[in-house]
Structure 1
């Protein structure tokens, strides 16, 4: 869901400005797809914390080094291969015609390989514009053990409050520098902390909420999301916080519904949605590449497409993005997932006393 929303946003952001008024209005409806980043951070906080809580309940505690190694092996190898994919065309142009590219510099490549590209203006959106979230995500991995410990010792509510206050202080003092407002985890870790809170609530809840309770969560989620969308241009910190709250409440309602086996959670059990979730990381890594290449090809074939032609181009682009993500998953990501599963299966089972 999160990556689908982001794909729609990038579809609008990177499409040429030669659209007809009707097509432009259709694409403008996808503008708020940038909120998928908030959902992504909430889901990250939830999934990582839920995994730790489950492992702890099973008596399988992890050291910090093994935890970081597992996250690195899950994220980095497909990411590195996707970097090669994005650098392929600039490299060919440089080798054949000497055409330079801002992405083909040691600073760009090394900062991205080390997940440090979020700290500089010239590397924040380099190579692929969506990679900045991975830089922030890696910072989240480093602070998660601290947040997890504090949530258990002092309560998850205090963790969310502390994260929100520190994010506010950061927003008030970071100015308009994009690397400070987008590339440093302090600007966005409230959403991450909200995901942690949902994980603790879900594990500790004895019974699912009633349908009325779930409806209340859905209503509150809608209020926060609508409010954030309405005032997004006025205050970035406030809108990010409200989007985070809205998606955290939506996630809570879906999780409660899943325990009852009916309700809103059944919408996410459809095969194509399950498949989208399975290949979501591959879609995230490749969608900008697929979109850019197919769009150039389509406009070469149809330089003056008209309204129906433009709508057809959008549909073909979305299909290409989906196919590209699926192919990358089959050829790249799935093999690394298998190697991770193989290493896990070789580890001795923990002793239970």
Structure 2
């Protein structure tokens, strides 16, 4: 019976894989569209929404991190060091490999994200390996072209153990979302006026990508977890919580914080996906793409760099469709390889290291080990 219950719960969590799949599809669409000339202006704007796929990644990440910690909360031997090692081996092995590959393929010369700097320095590379590239506007996105989100996510990882202790309900999660929104707005308002660098265009991009600006979306992922966890689901949002959420939406609307408004829409969509369980979105294909999504995120820029070398003599919309299909298929193929030979072995290395850290129990003690 416990196994059947676990299987049923995993089936219900299939929507998280689909969220990741939709996120990577959105990211691929927006990056492919940037290489197609002559697209209709409205279509271009519509496709640009695909960039919000990163917000879906963040939301899914916050949800699963809280879920993972809640499942381990009964294990008193679970330490912060084990949590950090688990996160490190989930992210780092493939990330490090791809950093090396992109440095070889793209070199270390000037590019947009380096601003007025001459090239990628040893300090920049070191910051990337330490996941600290998000602290510098010249470093945050200067090697792979999408690594900014990994730096931001790793920053969020550091706060998770504390947040897990402090946020225990839907109301707590709501307060956190509101506070994160206010802090984000306040910091961006101040730092727009006091840039750290002379390149105002680059500085504006940095303020969009940096951790404080993304924090409210992580908060929405935590809120999604508590709504999902409570058997009452949406009814678990009491009048106080609902009122604060409404205030946050109005604040974002009048403050021009469209990303937060999109995040609220994604929250509603994520819950609808879980609640209605549409078979055309919840199936093995979407789950498989969702599991490959991290590899796809890091490899698709390599694939796209090759695809764009092919000049297609078609109308813009046809060229977009063909380029997207080719990029998607080749990225999936390459990502299956990296997932099987880098991602999964890395996760297993982490599990082995964590298991060796477990205290040795006296003979006769019965302890159930669980390292996911």
Name the counterpart of 2:337: 327
| Alignment check: 8 A CA contact 1:118 1:136 kept | yes
Give me the whole-angstrom Cα distance separating, in 2, the residues matched to 1:192 and 1:21: 33
| Alignment check: 8 A CA contact 2:32 2:320 kept | no
Name the counterpart of 1:215: none
Give me the whole-angstrom Cα distance separating, in 1, the residues matched to 2:176 and 2:77: 22
Unaligned 5+ segments in structure 2 are 1-21, 110-116, 193-199, 236-244, 361-365
Alignment of 1:11 onto 2:32: yes
What secondary structure sits across from 1:267 in the alignment?
A: coil
Pair 235,157 (structure 1): closer, same or farther in 2 beyond 3 Å: closer
Name the counterpart of 2:18: none
- Paired residues for 1:97-112 under 5 Å: 104-112=120-128
- Paired residues for 1:130-209 under 5 Å: 130-152=146-168, 155-175=172-192, 177-178=203-204, 181-203=207-229, 205-206=230-231
Pair 332,135 (structure 1): closer, same or farther in 2 beyond 3 Å: same
- Paired residues for 1:255-274 under 5 Å: 255=274, 257=275, 263-274=276-287
Name the counterpart of 1:113: 129
* RMSD of aligned residue pairs (Cα, Å): 3.3
TM-superposed CA distance for 1:102, in Å, is 5.7
Give me the whole-angstrom Cα distance separating, in 2, the residues matched to 1:330 and 1:10: 25
Pair 65,162 (structure 1): closer, same or farther in 2 beyond 3 Å: same
Name the counterpart of 1:249: 268
Q: Provide the TM-score with structure 2 as the length reference.
A: 0.72
TM-superposed CA distance for 1:314, in Å, is 3.9
Name the counterpart of 2:238: none
Unaligned 5+ segments in structure 1 are 94-100, 211-219, 258-262
Pair 91,147 (structure 1): closer, same or farther in 2 beyond 3 Å: same
Count of residue correspondences: 310
| Alignment check: 8 A CA contact 1:279 1:329 kept | yes
TM-superposed CA distance for 1:60, in Å, is 5.2
Pair 235,84 (structure 1): closer, same or farther in 2 beyond 3 Å: farther
